[in-house]
Structure 1
Amino acid sequence: MELLLLASICLIAILYSSVGHGGASGYLAVLSLTIYATQDPIWLKQHVWSLNLIVASIAFFTYKSSGFFSWKLTIPFIVASIPAAMVGGYLKIDNGIYDTLLSITLIFASWKLLTTKKIDSEGVFVRPPTMQISIVIGIIIGLLSGIIGVGGGIFLSPIILLFGWSDAKTAAGVAAAFIWVNSASGMVGSSLSGELLLEFDFLLPLGVAVVIGGLVGSKIGSGVLSQKTVRILLSSVLIIAALKRILDLIGV
């Protein structure tokens, strides 16, 4: 396996885990720039979810052990997202539709990286969302996560911060737990469709890369680099990958 690919995956894990995310949209972006972009969507989703499970686990335990987590805020989102993510993972969609949805997701993730505030800002909880709102949000994000092959953190974190349901670091801890559950549910759903396409020879070196990246990123938090620099670099990768998908889709 190319060293550049492993280094890129490790870097994505560092950057995403520093904000409590698993890195799925980043892994998809990197793979979209390689020969693996031609793989079946189910193959891509299952391998990315596997990496997500590793990094989200590390990020969750790191943030939770530091006191940045809320079961009260997390559980309603998780309960609603589990069946929705399984359904999304079970669904088989046309490659063109998948490429379109993935491109939109990558562009959205890039936009949020450029517009979301630093995660190390401190804050306090305001009134949490009602159960009904949490359930609706969990279902929608869970379904999208299952279809696209992400954990949903890029959708949930901005929503939590936008409505002031928690401080930024707690939002990172909540997102990590949410991402893990959605990734596992999506994996189960796609497996129930009769296809488990994991290639462990391919997955093992990537797994080692994300373990290293996840440990480093979750420890350094906002990181040695400025958050502005990190967001610009990562956003550039996501935009390039999205444009590549779009150009391939229209046959350019």
Structure 2
Amino acid sequence: MGMAATLYASVGHGGASAYLAIMALAGIAPETMRPTALALNLVVSAIAFANYARAGHFDWRLFVTVAIPAIPLAFIGGMAQLPDQLYRPVVGAILLFAAIQFAWKPNRATRQPPRPAILAGSGGALGLLAGLTGTGGGIFLSPLLLSTGWAKPRTTAAVAAAFIFVNSLAGLAGNLSALGELPQGLGWLALAVGAGGLVGSRLGAVVVSRTILMRSLALVLVIAGGKLLLT
């Protein structure tokens, strides 16, 4: 899980989709997987946000506009159980399509974001999807911001990290309201992903080029999309 956290944190993500895939392969019970993934998301996304924000890439206005409507809907989504057959094929295909676009054309022009109402509506929809899927929503927000040109890659990573944190917190709260307690043994997993998050987010925020960052995101989306389609 530490290696997954390194890769995901390099693009401002928490790694929930990878943690879910790893736990599925390990045969962990589904009711344990989602709160575990969300809790680990909190650790990695907080570290990624700190590194990207410290490097000057965070856009508060963009974050607030998408996050405020997302938080309550992520909580609602965390309480609900969406049948796998309704979202896995569609979302997985969308993520794979986005991955191909970012790998093929990593240098994209940016333009002014749309009206706040459009951003807010997008944020609310992504928050609900984040809660339903047990992720922080970054695997959906990053493709949206980058494919539309609404934010630069590193700004996208910074905003996505903060978005993932607040949605993971809301989704976990909603999930715990139904389950009542956190899974056992989170401490060692949190240390592993925290170490990976420190390395990955530092590389993404300061060291790697725009092209490498976009192709790293493409790889993350391939992993996430493949996990949704194959598990």
2:25 is matched with which residue: 22, 33, 36? 33
Measure the CA separation in 1 of the matches of 2:145 and 2:213. Answer: 19
CA distance in 1, matches of 2:149, 2:217: 22
Work out the CA distance in 1 between the residues paired with 2:12 and 2:58: 11
Aligned to 2:116: 131
Partner of 1:23: 15
2:5 aligned with 1:13: yes
Alpha-carbon displacement from aligned partner over 1:65-124 (angstroms, at most 9, x marks no partner): 00001111110111010111011011134xxx1365345444543443343259x9697x
Residue matched to 1:88 = 77
Aligned counterparts of 2:149 and 2:221: Cα–Cα separation in 1 = 24
Distance 1:132 1:228 in 2: 27
Partner of 1:199: 183
CA contact (8 A) 2:11 2:216 kept: no
Partner of 1:75: 64
Residues 28-54 of structure 1 show CA distances to partners (whole Å, capped at 9, x for unaligned) of 122222211xx13x4211100001000
Distance, in Å, in 1 between the alignment partners of 2:80 and 2:222 is 30
Structure 1, unaligned runs of 5 or more: 1-8, 246-252
- For the 8 Å contact 1:122–1:169, the answer to whether it is kept is no
Judged with a 3 Å threshold, the aligned counterparts in structure 2 of structure 1 residues 31 and 103 are, in CA distance, closer, same or farther, namely farther
TM-score, normalised on structure 1?
Answer: 0.79
User: How far does residue 14 in structure 1 lie from its aligned partner after superposition?
Assistant: 0.6
Alpha-carbon distance in structure 1 between the residues aligned to 2:73 and 2:226:
30
Structure 1 residue 101 and structure 2 residue 93: aligned? no
CA distance in 2, matches of 1:177, 1:231: 17
State the superposition RMSD in angstroms: 2.9
Question: Deviation of residue 234 (structure 1)?
Answer: 5.2
1:47-196 to structure 2, matched below 5 A, reads 47-93=36-82, 97-98=83-84, 101-102=87-88, 104-116=90-102, 126-193=111-178, 195-196=179-180
Partner Cα distance (1:47, 1:104) in 2: 24
**Structure 2 counterpart of 1:210, one-letter code:** V
State which structure, 1 or 2, has the greater radius of gyration over its C-alpha atoms.
Answer: 1
Residue type at the aligned position of 1:132: A
CA distance in structure 1 between the partners assigned to 2:19 and 2:51 by the alignment = 21
Matches of 1:183 and 1:232, distance apart in 2? 22
Work out the percentage of aligned pairs sharing the same amino acid: 35
TM-score (ref. length: structure 2):
0.86
| Secondary structure, aligned partner of 1:35 | coil
The range that moved more, 26-35 or 143-152, is 26-35
